[in-house]
Structure 1
Amino acid sequence: MGAGGWAALEAGDAAAAMAAFSTAVGDAPADWDARYGLAAALMQAGQPDGDVLNDARTLHALAVMRSAGADLARLKSDAAYAQQIGLQLYGQHHVACASVAWSMALASGAIDAPGLLNYALSLQHQGRVEEAVQYLQVAVENFPSAALHQFLLFPHLFIDGGERAHAEQSRAWARRWANAPPPAPFPGTPLAGRRLRIGYVAPSFAGSQVRQFLGPVLRAHDPARVEVTLYPASAEGEAGWPDHVKVKPIGQLSDEAAAAAIRADGVDVLADCWGHTAGSRLGVFARRPAPVQVAWINFVQTTGLPQMDYVLHADSAADLDLSDLYVERIWPIGPVFTPFERSADRRPPAASPAKQAGMVTLGSFNHPAKISDGALAAWATVLRNAPDARMLLKYRYFVDPVLQAATRARFAAHGVAGDRLLFEGQSAGEDYLRSFERVDLMLDGWPAPGSTTTLDALSNGVPVLSLCGQTLAGVYSRSILEASGLAELAADTPEDFVARALALVRDIDRLDGLRSRVRPGFESGDCCDGEAFARRLEAAFETMYDLTCDDARRGAA
């Protein structure tokens, strides 16, 4: 029902679409497709109604759960059963369906920290970030803990202007959970020819995304210049590192005991590679086990900890005034924030698929939370003005039919028909690498751009167009593109983003010529020069340590 409504949306006739879908909903109140259409029409008319869209999601999710064998009557009356169904759906990456099950559990009175967290995360993973923040705030207020509070920090980065809110939340976290007593002072003994002792902290190195960034550095570290120790949660799986890299697990130790162990190792510079992500050990840094403490890799924002001395950033971050966003001192580390380890199993370079298909395929492999209203509006503008183009949205949560339908409705509000969108879930190995051969141009999101997804795309020869305005995230994206010789893919405004995208989409030969430059430029650029990055990092850490020793001597004088 409501077929005429979808055509009206594509034509930009919001009034006709609202009339058609309102009639369809009145004739069949359980028709979730008509409700998605009505929600899209209201959005197109500038009258968004979250209740209409939420009703569509709920009806759709219940239909999905019913088809999977769930007992809907029991869902409404048995909170434990609703929680169980939510967990099953979440494990299958059906986050929108899971959110409906968990909302029913909460409505039945099953209000506890895990339930609120699960519900908030299921909202966040759909891109319903503001709602997720509200439930996380409720969770933190009623069930305070350091780990739960950390979940409240990250989603602010998906919201326009959220960098400032994130900084405030980080400081609040530190005041509440990292207020450790001051440790005994360090002697401030100069290196005097000995090797610098560096420690890296993360719950996992070999088994996490950190490997792609830290791996090139660990292999390039000069064992005649530095001693390196990894402090993961467990030693299991931490194999394959160079012989000079020691591994000392701290997962079974309290923050106080882990700090004591690191201090006993005589570490000079301790680098956190995880930030406020789940599994964080920032409580260890609050006890200052090393004279120099640095934030790096997995979290480019402030930790909020006054005990953290520095945060590493690309040189271009110096162009911004970030003083009110950091408690740490920003240390420029070179042209790029980190090096990157490209896959050894990449497929041979390929021409733009549009050369064969005769139509351009745009793509985004980013988390749905990164598809903000502003980014989606720009993408839709490109699609609307390039009627032969289509877009592939690929992420593990896009297997959820409810998330797919809601995303189609958001695009429909901008006049883009749903059949121009392709959805795919997670893939790995060669299947993942082959997926890049199907995309002509990646469109990045904002205010939270891609990171690993951007680097993966460039590594596999796919150009990535990013909005690189005057924000920390924008500076990060710009550093990657400029380091790869692709400055023309760094847009300054949403309007500039759309104009650059359309110029490429409308000229397949130009797009193919750009593609031929992407992989060579990336491979010969600073992102792939782990050796040079390691030398800069070692020099930076040595200088930081020398400055700390100077301060200690002046304080003792």
Structure 2
Amino acid sequence: MKVELARAQKLLDQRYPDPDEAIKLLDPLLKRESKHWLVYYFLGIAQMQKSNFEKAIGYFEKSIGEHDQNSQTYLLVARCYYELQDFENAERFGKAAVQLNQELLDAWMFMGQLYWDQALLNKAIQCYTIANKLDPKNYLIAYNIGQIYADQGDYKKALELYDITLQMEPKLIDAGIKKAQIYQSIGEYEQAEVAIEKVLELDSENLLALSVLSLLYRAMGRYSEAIALNERLLDRYPNDGNVRVNYALCLLETGQYDEAEKNYRRALKDTPETQQSLSNYLMGIHYNPKRTKEEIFEAHSLWDQYYAPEERPGRPVPANKDKEKKLRVGFISGGFKKHPVGWMITSALEKLPKDEIATYIYTTDTYHDSLTKRIREASAKWTSVVGYSDEVVAQIIKDDEIDILVELSGHSSGNRLKTVALEPAPITIKWVGGLFNTSGLKSMDYLLTDAKESPEGEAPFYTEKLVRMPDDYVCYTLPNYDIDVAEAPVTQNGHITFGCFNNPTKINTELLSKWAEVLKQVPDSRLFLKSKQYDTELVRERIIQHLEECGIEEDRIIFEGYSLHNDLLECYNKIDIALDPWPYSGGLTTIEALWMGVPVITNSGPTFAGRHSTSHLTNAGFPEWVTDNWEDYIQKAVSLAGDVDQLSKLRAELRERLLSSPVCDAKRFARNLADAFRKMWLQRVQGYEKNLSEGEWQDHIWVSQKKKEPETQAESLQNGKQNKALKKGIYVNKSLVKFKDTPSEVVEAIVNTPGLKYAEPLSVAIPESELFRLRNIFEEHEYGLPSVFQLNENSVVVDIGGNVGSFSLYARQWNPECQIHSFEPNPQVFPLLAHNMKDLDNISITQVALSDQNGEINLFQHPRNTGQSSTTVHMKGGHEVTVRMQKSGEALAEKGINKIDVLKIDTEGAEVSILKGMKDLLINTGFIMLEYHSEADRREIDAILSGFSVYASGVSVPCEVGTIKYINNRILNK
């Protein structure tokens, strides 16, 4: 037997294993009366090598039954269950392996991968951390941990781990590529290019690295280089669908529609598993003026042909089918931020009746900003599904017992249509977000629209049943920065300026010809085009060339590239009339133009994508600017341009008219949306009652008109209409003197805090971009104290990250006699802090960056928002200054502080180092409020504050992941 076992082992261990020959040697041994466990063990390995995992498990279990207590055997069983997607048993046997041998590196590595695949990321990191202790020089461990941090959106930690990986193994190309991808995703294009060039120094023809470089060129607007590189790659790899998708995207964005479509179709043929090639194709054909709506509808049927499950999954059946029950409505998207999705849904979600609807958010993106904060606060549950497989996401939705799942990405990048195709909820609905037409999915029951987007007769061009809202199908969320509407520019410069701030992919030669006709009929007029793509010469030249062919000189065309959103809105003050593109119309851009006092002329397109402006303009009260033919389009633009008095009048009243329309009426929209959800639910329940099959129970829905309910003053402020109130001098005085080194405009805000014992009106000098923070602090009481705290003249409040002093002023209204110490390092902000505190007793201010060490540190300053700076987060477009850094415990000791009643920390990512620097003082700290910037930071904070209990937590403002409040247990136990 020993001879046969040795020969079998050699066959299985050789460079090219021969499991069949090994089985021939081992099978006869099974007939012997005395069998060694190694016979079963080697047969298990042989079957495993043949991918017969169930047979392999049988043999391994017999080996264990023959007293095999080898930890490797248990690990092999775990691997077999893993291959069979039986994660529960894989975990069971994996745990058994490490219990038998806690130093079995392969087992800890396997468990890390197992948890990672199930999106149990914290457990995965724990396993990899143990593996790292067993083998500190194993670069793959560092690499895997880096990938998990990247999945969590903790890019700083991910980059650190990739650097460690490359220090141990400089030739690991994948780590270099991952670095480049992270830098690109956060807009650090130069760093990304450096990282990818280092990879190419190791392997100049690496396909993945070159593909990433082509995407980087595109992101940087270097389309000529991106196209040339992709063409070179396609010469070498003509059947690579991923390369061809990248190439097609560049062609589309430079207006080469036919060639783009041709390449998308080829990519779909060559690499059908690449879903994005089809989604990109479906979006792309809406830009092409040659495509008919019949062709476009037929193309959407391809999605189910390629990607729907072969057998339709059974939908979960809710245990509670009460028609009037509180509905659980899930929303899945990567757009819960300052993005068209965020701008169009946030105020509506905030106003949904909480007694009827519980909102569950599933975010596929790691970015957080002020809209993220509002959406998260409006939700019953917030779940990040970044990095999760479609199957895992579907199971999460099922476990949450969602009644209605709302998809908010459509065919745009990063969508989760495959999750929807798994039908994890009783009802699925398509709403805003990549919503340019039908989804094409049979698993999508409804599509939320309105009578202008989807007029009578259009239902045959949708695979879903249409839910038509009585007004607009979206509700605009107003920006939280106040931007004045200027006079019509024609009154200042003497000529009309037409404009379009849409993506230039929407601008085709047919449209340019019509615009040229408008410009010809309005002498000396200009055309102002603004979008980030206009930073690219290739895009500009395409437009200049065609307009010149139409008789329009280049000097009449104005281009402007990327701007921050508030700057983009300001640019509407440079145009008199907006010209909507065709056949893919503007959406958010149209509403923003109206918000800034600019009329918009539109020609309705043939599909949903072409009727966004038709809906928004009609529901805002301006149907006279909508037409369905080019003759009227040109005439309306020329006529409006000829009436300067009318343009001036519109400029003064458009914002108010928009505000008072259904487009901005969040309360009305939310009521109608809740009714729409209820009508869908009633159809679903009736389907259960009648035992109807999928596809039989749904029908079109018309949501009835609701009478507009008046808003209270508080609701008006909450909706963002404070902008209007501010201008009346109720809240803001714009005549405040400018501060020398502060680039943002500084205003004086008069604030009050009703309900606090010592509340009194306060004057705060603050950058306009930071006004929203005052509402959060003084109106929404985001820094409210638990009732257990009663501050007195001996109480000590420490404000780290004091900014302009908003929190310190709020704290003073708890008790004006308490001692307040504020620390702020930003040299642009500190003068405002000093100004706001100059006449107040019991408040000390110090200009220093607190940390866990002494010295100097670079402070990254936001390019426009004076109030935002960080020692840990590089802010693209901003600049660095060197500031003094001091260990937090030492700085507080210098102030004579040996106990703290209330500690607030908001330092854009430095919170962990600050807590470490004052660790000895934390035992004498009663209440802590801080913001954390990654889940990894949250874990470290919880570890440092192990003697505290969490009082409350929630989402925070831009760049943060969340806020959390801790009470020292010694306080709780008093």
With the length of structure 2 as denominator, give the TM-score of the two structures. 0.47
1:209-224 alignment, distance < 5 Å: 209-224=340-355
Task: State the alpha-carbon separation in 2 of the partners of residues 84 and 283 from structure 1.
Answer: 25
**Equivalent residue for 1:170?**
300
Residue equivalent to 1:196: 327
1:32-111 matches, cutoff 5 A: 86-107=214-235
CA distance in 2, matches of 1:186, 1:445: 44
1:125 alignment partner in structure 2: 253
Matches within 5 A, 1:540-555: 540-555=676-691
The one of 498, 503, 518 equivalent to 1:362 is 498
Q: Which residue of 1 aligns with 2:850?
A: none
Match runs of 1:278-427 below 5 Å: 278-298=413-433, 299-317=435-453, 319-427=455-563
**Within 5 Å, which residues of 2 pair with 1:258-269?**
258-269=393-404
CA distance in 2, matches of 1:439, 1:419: 16
1:500-542 CA-partner distances (Å, limit 9, x unpaired): 1111222322222233332122111111111111111111101
Preserved contact between residue 469 and residue 493 of structure 1 (Cα < 8 Å): no
The structure with the greater share of residues assigned to helix is 1
Once residues 674 and 662 of structure 2 are traced to their aligned partners in structure 1, the CA distance between those partners, rounded to angstroms, is: 16
Aligned to 1:487: 623
Could you list the runs of 5+ residues in structure 1 that have no partner in the other structure?
1-73
1:497 equivalent in alignment to 2:633? yes
> Is it true that 1:135 corresponds to 2:263 in the alignment?
yes
Cα offset, 1:316, TM superposition: 2.9
Post-superposition CA distance 1:305-342 (Å, at most 9, x none): 11111101113345331233111001111210100112
Q: Which amino acid in the other structure matches residue 250 of structure 2?
A: S
Query: Aligned with 1:319: secondary structure?
Result: coil
SS for the counterpart of 2:691 is helix
Instruction: Please tell me the residue identity of whatever aligns with 1:169.
Output: A
What is the Cα deviation at residue 291 of structure 1? 1.2
Structure 1 window deviating more from structure 2 (344-353 vs 267-276): it is 344-353
Sort the Cα spacing of 1:550 and 1:484 in 2 relative to 1 into closer, same or farther, 3 A. same
More strand as a share of residues? 2
SS in 1 for 2:317: coil
1:113 partner letter: G
C-alpha distance in 2 between matches for 1:103 and 1:159: 22
The amino acid of 1:201's aligned partner reads I
- The separation in 1 between residues aligned to 2:485 and 2:248, in whole angstroms, is 41
Where does the alignment leave 5 or more consecutive residues of structure 2 unmatched?
1-199, 694-974
CA contact (8 A) 2:423 2:443 kept: yes
| Cα drift, residue 433 of structure 1 | 2.4
Deviation by residue 1:74-116 (Cα, 9 ceiling, x = unmatched) = 9xx9797976764443232232453234334434557633321
Greater shift in the superposed pair: 295-304 or 312-321: 312-321
Aligned residues: 484
Distance 2:534 2:516 in 1: 18
Listed one character per residue, the Cα deviations across residues 407-453 of structure 1 (whole Å, up to 9, x for unaligned) are 11111111111111111111114422221110111101100001111
- 147, 151, 174: which is aligned to 2:276? 147
Aligned-residue CA RMSD (Å) = 2.6
1:470 CA drift (Å)? 5.9
Give the TM-score normalised by structure 1: 0.81
| 8 Å Cα contact 2:498/2:526 also seen in 1 | yes
| Partners of 1:123 and 1:132 within 8 A in 2 | yes
Per the alignment, do residues 168 and 110 of structure 1 end up closer, same or farther by CA in structure 2, a change over 3 Å counting?
closer
The reply on whether 1:254 has 2:393 as its aligned counterpart is no
| Structure 1, 533-542 or 342-351: larger mean CA deviation | 342-351
Cα deviation for residue 556 of structure 1 reads 7.6
Is residue 2:373 matched to residue 1:239?
Answer: yes
After superposition, give the CA deviation of every residue in 1:136-158 in whole Å (9 maximum; x if it has no partner). Answer: 11111111122332221110111
Whichever of the two has the greater Rg, that structure is: 2
Counterparts in 2 of 1:83 and 1:551: CA distance versus 1, 3 Å: closer
Deviations 1:136-186, CA, capped at 9 Å, x for gaps: 111111111223322211101112334333322221111220135331562
Decide whether aligned partners of structure 1 residues 274 and 90 sit closer, same or farther in structure 2, where only a CA change above 3 A counts: same
1: distance between equivalents of 2:257 and 2:324?
A: 51
Preserved CA contact (<8 Å) 2:448 2:466: yes
Residue by residue, what CA displacement relative to the aligned partner does 1:281-315 show, whole Å, maximum 9, x if unpaired? 11111121111111001114111111111101113
User: Is 1:530 paired with 2:666?
Assistant: yes
Q: Could you tell me which residue of structure 2 aligns to residue 519 of structure 1?
A: 655
Structure 2 counterpart of 1:190, one-letter code: K
Mark the CA change 1:353 to 1:234 in structure 2 (over 3 Å): closer, same or farther. Answer: closer
Q: Is the 8 A contact 1:465 1:497 kept in 2?
A: yes
Question: How far is 1:236 from its partner?
Answer: 6.1
Letter in 2 for 1:331: V
Structure 2 counterpart of 1:123, one-letter code:
L
* Structure-2 residue corresponding to 1:225: 356
* Distance change >3 Å, CA 192–CA 104, structure 1 → 2: closer
1:432 aligns with 2:563: no
2:373 is paired with a residue whose SS is: coil
Matched residue SS, 1:227:
strand
- Residue identity over aligned pairs, in percent, reads 27
Measured in 1, the distance between the counterparts of 2:239 and 2:287 equals 26
What is the CA–CA distance in structure 2 between the aligned matches of 1:472 and 1:91, rounded to whole Å?
A: 28
1:277 and 1:425 map into 2 onto residues whose CA distance is 22
**2: CA distance, partners of 1:356 / 1:280:** 46
Aligned residue number for residue 759 of structure 2: none
- Contact preservation (8 Å) 2:330, 2:362: yes
Q: Partners of 2:330 and 2:212 in 1: how far apart?
A: 41
Local SS of the residue matching 2:337: coil
For 1:150, give the aligned amino acid: S
How far residue 368 of structure 1 moved from its aligned partner, in angstroms, is 1.2
Retained in 1: the 8 A contact 2:585–2:611? Answer: no
Distance of aligned partners of 1:267 and 1:280 in 2 relative to their CA distance in 1, 3 Å threshold:
same
CA contact (8 A) 1:235 1:248 kept: no
* Letter paired with 1:297: V
In 2, Cα distance between the equivalents of 1:362 and 1:325? 34
